[in-house]
Structure 1
Amino acid sequence: MTTDLMQKFPTIEILKNEPLNKYTHTKIGGPADWLAFPTTITETKALVDYAHTEHLPLTVLGNSSNLIIKDGGVRGLVLMMTKLLGIERQANEVAAMAGELTIATAEFAYQEGLTGLEWAAGIPGSIGGAIFMNAGAYGGETKDVMSKVDVLTRAGEFKTYTLAEAQLAYRDSIMQHNHDVVLRAYFALQPGDKAVIRAQMDDFNERRASKQPLELPSAGSTFKRPVGYFAGKLIMEADLQGFRVGGAEVSKKHAGFVVNIDNATAKDFLAVIEHVQATVWGKYQVKLETEVRILGDD
């Protein structure tokens, strides 16, 4: 790569050959050729336009909580959206920028006495990731409350999708298929009793802490829920809890999680995932699809 992006965009924080394991919740992942942290929509557009014009591979990341980045890292330009921040109330709607944490957005809604985001109180991802993946927990999901989303196409065009246009489905959205960059999402909420909202958020967080291995690095729920089954229950019944390759292990606390217990590599994680998939298929003829995104070079 001939152009030095740090010289091309001197006002934007850009790092070269930056290890991504410093940013992922799994604590794994090789280097990004270039890692940029836009703080405004204008900066985001400038970087997207440049990548488009120069035919530079472009990868967009948020809080990197539901993600496995391979040991070889990611080529081209990686946009880390975690510094594109801002939350505001507009009547009974909350508008949150892509880099805001889902937890922070749920907390903001609570402080404003607005109900509808309680289920998101413990989800560790960013708003951009929540929209991209249609994140959900405890019977709620993003599509229940999102009203519209502002995006930037890879060709640098601004668009606003309605809920219907965003095509949010189980861990899916139109953004996964056309690779739009999420900029800002709007959530239609309702006035509620703050004490009730707080109690529900606390309950969800206590349930999460008691059941999930939050004390260890992981990518969250590893597998999508197969129709008619629960992934964690199948894995547990297949006697796979504690199965380990290198530093990666099927959590003994929650079988639906693969955790980093000792300086795991992405290769370790993927070997565990493949063994779990093969074993569950062999025993139950149920196909486990990964919920985590898997990116990068081997």
Structure 2
Amino acid sequence: MQKLNECIAKLKQILPEDSVLIDEPMSKHTTFQIGGPADCFVMPSTVEEAIAVIKIVKEYDVPLTMLGNGSNLLVMDKGIRGIVVNLNERFAKITRDGNFIKAQCGALMVDVSKFAGEASLTGLEFAVGIPGSIGGCIFMNAGAYDGEIKNVVHRVSAIDKEGNLVYYTNEEAQFSYRHSIFQDNDNLILEVELELQEGNQDEILAKMADLTNRRETKQPLEYPSAGSTFKRPPGYFAGTLIDQTGLKGLTVGGAQVSKKHAGFVVNIGGATAQDVLDLIKEVQDRVYKAHGVKLYPEVKMIGEQ
């Protein structure tokens, strides 16, 4: 505890007062609106500040957690120990250079996709409905409508655990289904460079509008959630299996299998992380019993239970 307090004191020396929050409820920073307090929640505003934060946390050897905009994430009810570094709307710049788009990690995927469409660049249409930041999309190799972010990534810049700026090519990022190297190395993603192709603006925007409409009519956007709850099992669709098992509307506390789309667990009000965990297990058990198929969560779970 002494190391943590000393680390926090040092962070307060280099960051503005409103950038270092103590015992900050993670429910304020996740799309699920669930999660206990972080010991210390830090929001750098520049690359230099982010590097300094990483070096200080390493110096004091306290736990470090990286956070984007908190989608696809379930934080446990006792919260997160140590330091949480949040790169969100303060890191959201998007620029274009020919067929390349550079987006800082906090830029929302919908904004990056629309930026590409307005620039008549094709390749990101699939991502217009993905909730969350592009940093989170890289971390998870997010995908939708038969597209994956790995298909358009040219290079990723990040800060490693030593506080050094490092760069990854597409191959070095080791993308696979809902996975990247950043899940293994704890690097902090800073910026993503995407390589797209010239296209017809009207066609690009029309496709984005169609996918947005499909998402809004089929997904339970009226409730807080972490997006799709389960990974797609080989040869099946998780939502279809859950629906066929008759689990739409199944509720544990404030957590519910969406009545609109069975692939989503939603927070219908006051849900705890334990509610979500219990509901996930119940769904897994019943689907396996009915179909012999194991479902695995796509949602990342962090913190103390």
Band of TM-score, shorter chain: over 0.9
The answer to whether the Cα contact below 8 Å between 2:126 and 2:208 also exists between their aligned partners in 1 is yes
Distance in 1, matches of 2:118 and 2:54, equals: 35
Alignment of 1:164-203 (within 5 A): 164-203=171-210
The one-letter amino acid of 2:82's match is G
Find the counterpart in structure 2 of residue 36 from structure 1.
42
Q: Name the structure 2 match of 1:284.
A: 291
Identity %: 47
Deviation at 1:7, TM superposition (A): 2.6
Deviations 1:44-77 (A, max 9, x none): 1111111111111010111111110011000100
| 1:19 paired residue number | 25
Per-residue deviation, 1:84? 1.6
Residue 222 of structure 1 aligns to which amino acid in structure 2?
T
How far 1:2 sits from its partner (Å)?
2.5
Query: Deviation per CA, 1:163-212, whole angstroms, max 9, x where unpaired?
Result: 01101111000111111111100110111111111100000000001110
Which residue identity lines up with residue 119 of structure 1 in the other structure?
A: F
- Secondary structure in structure 1 of the residue aligned to 2:240: helix
Alpha-carbon deviation of 1:278? 1.2
The more displaced of 107-116 and 246-255 is 107-116
Deviation at 1:226, TM superposition (A): 0.5
Inter-partner Cα distance in structure 2 for 1:26 and 1:11: 28
Deviations 1:75-129 (A, max 9, x none): 1000111022211111210000011111111111112111111111111110110
Secondary structure at the residue paired with 2:5?
Answer: coil
Matching residue within 219, 222, 230 for 2:226: 219
Q: Quick one: distance in 1 between partners of 2:5 and 2:69?
A: 29
Is residue 15–residue 49 contact of structure 2 (8 Å, CA) maintained in 1? Answer: no
**Structure 2 length-normalised TM:** 0.95
Deviation at 1:8, TM superposition (A): 2.7
Q: TM-score, normalised by structure 1?
A: 0.97
Deviation string for 1:123-180 (max 9, x for gaps)? 1110110100001111111011011101111121221111011011110001111111
Pairing of 1:1-298 with structure 2 (within 5 A)? 1-3=4-6, 4-5=8-9, 7-11=12-16, 13-82=19-88, 83-298=90-305
Q: How far apart in 2 are the matches of 1:8 and 1:282?
A: 56
- In 1, the alpha carbon distance for the partners of 2:118 and 2:144 equals 21
SS of 1:226 mapped into structure 2: coil
What secondary structure sits across from 1:121 in the alignment? helix
* RMSD, matched Cα: 1.1
Unaligned runs of 5+ in 1: none
Work out the CA distance in 2 between the residues paired with 1:75 and 1:8: 21
Aligned residue type for 2:84 = V
Whether contact under 8 Å (2:220, 2:258) holds in the other structure is yes
Q: How many Å separate the matches in 2 of 1:290 and 1:18?
A: 26
Tell me how far apart the structure 2 counterparts of residues 2 and 285 of structure 1 sit (CA, whole Å): 50
Measured in 1, the distance between the counterparts of 2:32 and 2:71 equals 8
State the one-letter code of the partner of 1:160: Y
Structure 2: which amino acid aligns with 1:11?
P
Moved more, 151-160 or 52-61: 151-160
Q: Deviations over 1:249-296 (max 9, x none)?
A: 000100000011121111111110111111112222211111000011
Secondary structure of 2:243's counterpart equals: helix
